[in-house]
Every structure is written in C-alpha cells, then in structure tokens.
Structure 1
Amino acid sequence: METADHCWNCGSNVESDSNYCAECGAELDRERRSERDVDDRTGGYETGVDGTGDYVEDEYGTHRNDTMFAAATHLLAIFTWVIGPLIVLVVTEDEFVDANARTALNWQIMFTVWMVLSFVLALVVVGIIGLLILPLINIAFCVVAAVKANDGEVWQYPLTPEIV
C-alpha cells in the first residue's frame, strides 16, 4: 500500500485505499472530491487540500484546527486575563499557536500596566477616562487578533513589546 495521499483535515499521510484517516479519523471521500468540497471543509481558506487533492500548508505550516485554536486563545484572554494565554503557551507544541499565545500574553501584561497607570491617575481624576476606555480597547484588540489568527496571521498588538 502506498502513502501517496494526505488527509484533508490534518495533513498526515494516508494509505491510497483508506476510507478514513488513521490520525484524526476524518472521512476520506475520494470520489466526490471537488472545489465545492474543499471550500466546505476548509471554510474557504487556503489550508487543507487544493483542487488537485494535494495538502497545502500556510506560512507556519498550520492546519485549519490550529488557526481556530490560536483564535480561541485571543478570545480566551478576554475572560481569563493572562491565565488562558499562559496555559495555552505552556501546553501547545504548535509554532503558530505558540506565537499567538505569546502576543496575547504580552498584550494582557501591557493591558494590566495601562490599567494600573490609569488607576493611579484616577486619583487625580485624569485616569478615569483610561479606566472606562481600556476595557473596551482590550475587547476590540482581542477580537481583531482572533480574526487575524483565524486567517493564519500573527497580529502584533499596538504599543506592546515582546515581554514573553
């Protein structure tokens, strides 16, 4: 048995006569493979299989599930502060998810610095604006970063140095 084909879902090598991927369990529907099936499976992105059935990876070599995990890391930061991105950073082995977890963690650290600074300035009334606006900026930035991560990009948050 030859291993000439790749799974559309995870990219691992599969036997040419297999009906299912041994790695992820995805069904390998070889007879009905078309452009419409490719768009449905990958959400219209350039990961997965192209029209010839060859596996295509993006810049980081990520799969569709990895981009979704990276996007979830940014959204997780909205609700868990630095805890969510830190856990993802520790447990992930994927380079793309790791890069997104680092940017999310760096932003949450800087967000904390800006909030503390605003709180101190609120004592002299100036920082009240920061205390009101910074949480909205945090949500907006995390959503933008999640959308970019889902598209396969690592978005650098504004005014955020690489701390981690």
Structure 2
Amino acid sequence: MTQYPPPPYGPPPPPSMSPADEKMWATLIHLGGLFFGFIAPLIGYLVLKDRGPFVRAHTATALNFQLTLLIVYVAGYILTFVIVGIFVLIAAGILALVFSIIAAVKANQGQWYQYPMTIRFVS
C-alpha cells in the first residue's frame, strides 16, 4: 500500500511573471501613483506581491512613497493657515512628479529603485 502525502492546504501559489511583465507592471504602478495617489500602488501591491521579487520591490517602494506623500499633503493642508503649507504642497507635488517619473524609467529599464526621503511602511 502506497502512502501519498496529504494535499496542500489553501490555493496554489500564483505563477511568477516573466521579467518583461514584471518591468511593465512595475512601471505602470509608479505611473499610476501620479494619477491615483496611493490607491494604484496599494492595489498593485496586494495583487502582484507574490508574482515576482522585482515587481514586489517596486510596488512596495511606490506604496511607501505614496503613503509618505499623503502624510506630507495632510500636513501641508493643515499648514496652509500659516502660509507655509502652500510651499510644502508645491514642493511635494513637484517631488512626486519628478521621483515618480524617475522610478518609472528605472523600472522600465529593469533597475531597482528606492525613492529618497521615504518612510518605510511596507517592506
């Protein structure tokens, strides 16, 4: 009588993506942060985190950056009553645009990237 191992519990792991697909999704996640804030990186992280190490690192990085920007935007809106907040909001908007484009280009080239001045919430 042959004994077989018990079947694994839970759903099977998702298949990993090809490197080209990982680069494409990482690029789209960074650009999605420009248009949809932290929502696009959050959805990307939740859906794609188990599909490959490259896309996981880029979605986590984009999510951390967008959450840090959210905190800066809230602080900037609060500080608008003291006039300083206007400059904080303008600087945050410019940095978000520049750093998101740099990150998207790096992801499209297949390079790892970390946003500067980012609080790490998700790793």
Same fold (TM > 0.5): yes
Q: Aligned-pair distance for 1:90?
A: 1.2
2:96 pairs, out of 126, 138, 163, with 138
1:75 pairs, out of 18, 27, 31, with 31
1:130 partner amino acid:
V
Aligned-residue identity in percent? 37
Over aligned residue pairs, what C-alpha RMSD do you find? 1.5
Q: Aligned-pair distance for 1:140?
A: 1.0
Alignment partner of 1:84 is 2:40: yes
TM-score under structure 2 normalisation?
0.78
* Inter-partner Cα distance in structure 2 for 1:107 and 1:151: 20
1:25 maps to what in 2? none
1:129 pairs, out of 87, 99, 103, with 87
* Inter-partner Cα distance in structure 1 for 2:100 and 2:67: 13
Q: Aligned-pair distance for 1:62?
A: 5.7
* Inter-partner Cα distance in structure 2 for 1:122 and 1:161: 23
1:144 partner amino acid:
I
Structure 1 or 2: more strand by fraction: 1
1:105 maps to what in 2? 63
* Cα deviation code 1:3-33 (max 9, x no counterpart): xxxxxxxxxxxxxxxxxxxxxxxxxxxxxxx
* Inter-partner Cα distance in structure 1 for 2:84 and 2:116: 22
2:3 maps to what in 1? none
Runs of 4+ in 1 over 4 A off after TM superposition: none
1:58 maps to what in 2? none
Q: Aligned-pair distance for 1:83?
A: 1.1
* Inter-partner Cα distance in structure 2 for 1:82 and 1:115: 12
* Inter-partner Cα distance in structure 1 for 2:84 and 2:36: 28
Q: Aligned-pair distance for 1:133?
A: 2.5
1:149 maps to what in 2? 107
TM-score under structure 1 normalisation?
0.59
| Number of residue-to-residue matches in the alignment | 104
Q: Aligned-pair distance for 1:72?
A: 0.9
- Please give the secondary structure, in 1, of the residue aligned with 2:82: coil
* Inter-partner Cα distance in structure 2 for 1:101 and 1:86: 8
Higher Rg: 1
Q: Aligned-pair distance for 1:63?
A: 1.4
